[in-house]
Amino acid sequence: QKEVEQDPGPLSVPEGAIVSLNCTYSNSAFQYFMWYRQYSRKGPELLMYTYSSGNKEDGRFTAQVDKSSKYISLFIRDSQPSDSATYLCAMGSSASKIIFGSGTRLSIRP
């Protein structure tokens, strides 16, 4: 079993829809959680960073962490074609290197 599981997609939704991206993990020692966005032929860029259970909002993006279920989510409201990219979850602890999910390919249809 991988330490971090992420559905690879592809996920295709119409413009304006709410998008939900998810990851599950098995290591209860993970302390911090991140979401990266990667456009085609570019390196990943940090989108959201959270350290505790609960929600964190930044504009149209909301990151949610449920440590009891070992489940994290990224919600995108009012999705735009420019949100089309691959989204990678990542997590780590002070005692370990960061582990990435395999990424979900998202396409927003105009």
Partner 1 sequence: GAGVSQSPSNKVTEKGKDVELRCDPISGHTALYWYRQSLGQGLEFLIYFQGNSAPDKSGLPSDRFSAERTGGSVSTLTIQRTQQEDSAVYLCASSSQETQYFGPGTRLLVL
Taking the complex as a whole, the smallest distance from the CB of residue 67 to partner 1 amounts, in Å, to: 16
65 in contact with partner 1 (CB under 8 A): no
Tokens of 50: 């959270």
64 in contact with partner 1 (CB under 8 A): no
32 in contact with partner 1 (CB under 8 A): yes
Helices (H), 1-106: none
CB atoms within 10 A of CB 107: 14
Tokens of 97: 């290197």
Using the rule CB under 8 A, give the single segment among 12-20, 21-29, 34-42, 62-70 that binds partner 1: 34-42
